[in-house]
């Protein structure tokens, strides 16, 4: 049973920092959130209709994965028009309505921006193909002659993240670079027209009221001069930290300094959030210097297992790396590209405990849609329904990103569980009936009510939210305990109960707490110290 004594809670006082320093940001994957027209695909009107749910959940902002006009070769991350909405999601009027109604509810909206590459159906790229070698439009991409006697070999040995060469040859013999799918040509960010265009795109969405941008592949925009060979036979990882000539080049920082000037033109703390896979937390921090972006996803934390020693080391490294640049640390357990953390950790108990640990840490937290329901990964999807492009590359990734993208259950005892009236684009498991929003609402033992309670406590308690450090307390092996002001968090990552004297009054626990001096296995407890 989830236990909590909210009446022990102090009242939050004092001046709050910038909203983004302590925000809980909820990721909506539009095609899998809510379907308003019965076509089996989530859409913007569906999102708008469910905004009150997100308000009640207690989050501060909503990050929307791409909804732009796109051929959908990579679930919308192949953008054909950055200022238009794909008809499958609705219209620009619908996007405006989502932003306006979110603001009326006190929620902020962060839109996904995809600047590393576009769709091969983007007008610039289609025109570049028509104009041919040596023409100005080709300079906005990475077109190169091939190697070999007749240019039949790729210009270098770079591999696509999705598998196979990172180059595709066109009819006139030249090759173009695509770090992802062939339908996603990379922009050449050395070209001023590309830089001008994206500053214009930023202003377009800021003018519409967007509160910020999640920047896809933020570490990939600039490539090493001369596009040098990788020089080794190594399959790249979609979510990795390898040192590579096309990721985390120092030239990206000039781009983000120019973007920060645009963001600062607008009132209301508009922010930039980097998806930056880097070799170290210190390299990630470089994206967050005071004149660059505001946040970066903490993938080092996401990749840490359910182990006290490893978690403490990652928490310390994360906080230490952000402190010199004055940026908040972010915490994330799941997103649309990784196996859901309930499945990664192995049990719902561990997932619940991990959620309370994450929400107790200083800084900003990200919640991926459905994790508040305790959804597991769907691991048994039939091959014929899968849509992840990397699934179709024999030498690419594992192709299992579809499993975390299955539409979430809202109500009812059979699929599509209130998602819409026309089924769902990926099949939902029969066992999800008991995990729906409707089934869990009002049940004090449910994961949904645990998240609601945790977010309520987090918002009210003055020691939670923003900050840059924790005070670690002595504990037995396998246990974490830290203090933040008059708040204490204790975490048992072992599979056995541990005797640990209660450090205060119970606020919230991720599981049953029969004896306050005994911390159960795989359990996190919040205390008023």
d(CA 160, CA 166): 4
Instruction: Give yes or no for a contact between 319 and 286, defined as CB atoms under 8 angstroms apart.
Output: no
- The answer for residues whose C-beta is within 8 angstroms of residue 92's C-beta and 6 or more apart is 84, 85
d(CA 8, CA 476): 27
d(CA 499, CA 433): 37
Beta-sheet pairing, 518-519 with 498-499: antiparallel
- Other Cβ atoms less than 10 A from the Cβ of 327: the count is 25
Contacts 24+ apart (CB under 8 A), 232-239: 234/159, 235/159, 235/163, 235/395, 235/396, 236/159, 236/160, 236/161, 237/161, 237/397, 238/161, 238/162, 238/337, 238/390, 238/397, 239/277, 239/299, 239/303, 239/337, 239/338
DSSP state of 255: H
Instruction: Give yes or no for a contact between 489 and 524, defined as CB atoms under 8 angstroms apart.
Output: yes
Beta-sheet pairing, 68-69 with 81-85: antiparallel
Residue 159 pairs with which residues in a beta bridge? 165
d(CA 301, CA 247): 20
Instruction: Give yes or no for a contact between 486 and 528, defined as CB atoms under 8 angstroms apart.
Output: yes
Q: Is 377 a catalytic residue?
A: no
Q: Is 45 a catalytic residue?
A: no
Question: Which of 216, 349, 388, 522 does the annotation list as catalytic?
Answer: 216
Residue matched to tokens 């299955």: 406
Q: Which residues of 371-381 are buried (b: 16+ CB within 10 A; e: fewer)?
A: bbbbbbbbeeb
d(CA 239, CA 324): 26
Contacts 24+ apart (CB under 8 A), 135-141: 138/174, 139/188, 139/191, 140/187, 140/188, 140/191, 140/193, 140/194, 141/176, 141/177, 141/185, 141/186, 141/187, 141/188
- Other Cβ atoms less than 10 A from the Cβ of 22: the count is 20
Question: Which of 265, 398, 495, 512 does the annotation list as catalytic?
Answer: 265
d(CA 127, CA 123): 6
d(CA 369, CA 282): 29
CA 283 → CA 84, 260, 315, 351, distances in Å? 34, 19, 16, 29
d(CA 187, CA 139): 9
Which sequence positions are flagged as catalytic?
Answer: 216, 265
């Amino acid at each position: 049973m989830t236990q909590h004594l909210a009446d022990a809670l102090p009242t939050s006082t004092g001046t709050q920092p910038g909203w983004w320093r302590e925000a809980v940001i909820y990721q909506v994957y539009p095609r899998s959130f809510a379907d308003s027209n019965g076509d089996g695909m989530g859409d913007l009107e569906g999102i708008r209709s469910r905004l009150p749910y997100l308000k009640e959940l207690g989050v501060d902002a909503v990050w929307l994965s791409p909804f732009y006009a796109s051929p959908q070769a990579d679930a919308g991350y192949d953008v054909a028009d950055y200022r238009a909405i794909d008809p499958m999601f609705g219209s620009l009027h619908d996007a405006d309505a989502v932003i306006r109604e979110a603001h009326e509810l006190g929620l902020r909206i962060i839109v996904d921006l995809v600047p590393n590459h576009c769709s091969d159906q983007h007008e610039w790229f289609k025109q570049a193909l028509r104009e041919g070698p040596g023409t100005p439009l080709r300079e906005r991409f990475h077109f190169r002659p091939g190697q070999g006697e007749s240019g039949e070999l790729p210009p270098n040995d770079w591999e696509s993240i999705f598998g196979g060469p990172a180059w595709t040859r066109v009819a006139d013999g030249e090759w173009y670079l695509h770090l992802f799918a062939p339908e996603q040509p990379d922009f050449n960010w050395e070209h001023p027209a590309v830089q001008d265009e994206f500053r214009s795109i930023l202003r377009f969405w800021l003018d519409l009221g967007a509160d910020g941008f999640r920047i896809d592949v933020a570490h990939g925009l600039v490539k090493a001069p001369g596009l040098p060979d990788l020089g080794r036979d190594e399959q790249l990882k979609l979510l990795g930290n390898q040192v590579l000539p096309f990721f985390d080049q120092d030239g990206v920082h000039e781009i983000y300094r120019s973007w920060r000037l645009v963001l600062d033109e607008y009132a209301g703390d508009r922010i930039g959030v980097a998806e930056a896979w880097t070799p170290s937390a210190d390299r990630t921090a470089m994206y967050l210097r005071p004149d660059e972006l505001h946040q970066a996803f903490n993938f080092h934390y996401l990749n840490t297992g359910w182990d006290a020693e490893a978690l403490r080391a990652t928490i310390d490294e994360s906080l230490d790396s952000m402190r010199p640049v004055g940026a908040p640390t972010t915490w994330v357990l799941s997103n649309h590209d990784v196996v859901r953390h309930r499945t990664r950790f192995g049990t719902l108990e561990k997932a619940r405990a991990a959620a309370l640990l994450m929400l107790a840490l200083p800084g900003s937290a990200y919640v991926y849609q459905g994790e508040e329901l305790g959804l597991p990964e769907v691991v048994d999807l039939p091959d014929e329904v899968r849509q992840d492009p990397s699934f179709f590359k024999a030498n690419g990734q594992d192709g299992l990103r579809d499993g975390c993208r299955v539409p979430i259950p809202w109500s009812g005892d059979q699929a599509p569980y209130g998602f819409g009236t026309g089924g769902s684009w990926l099949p939902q498991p029969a066992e999800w009936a008991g995990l729906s929003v409707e089934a869990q609402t009002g049940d004090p033992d449910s994961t949904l009510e645990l998240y609601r309670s945790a977010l309520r406590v987090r918002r009210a308690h003055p020691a939670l939210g923003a900050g840059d450090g924790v005070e670690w307390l002595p504990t037995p092996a396998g246990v974490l305990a830290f203090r933040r002001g008059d708040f204490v968090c204790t975490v048992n990552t072992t599979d056995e109960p541990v005797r640990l004297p209660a450090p205060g009054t119970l606020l919230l626990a991720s599981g049953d707490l029969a004896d306050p001096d005994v911390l159960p296995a795989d359990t996190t407890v919040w205390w008023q110290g």
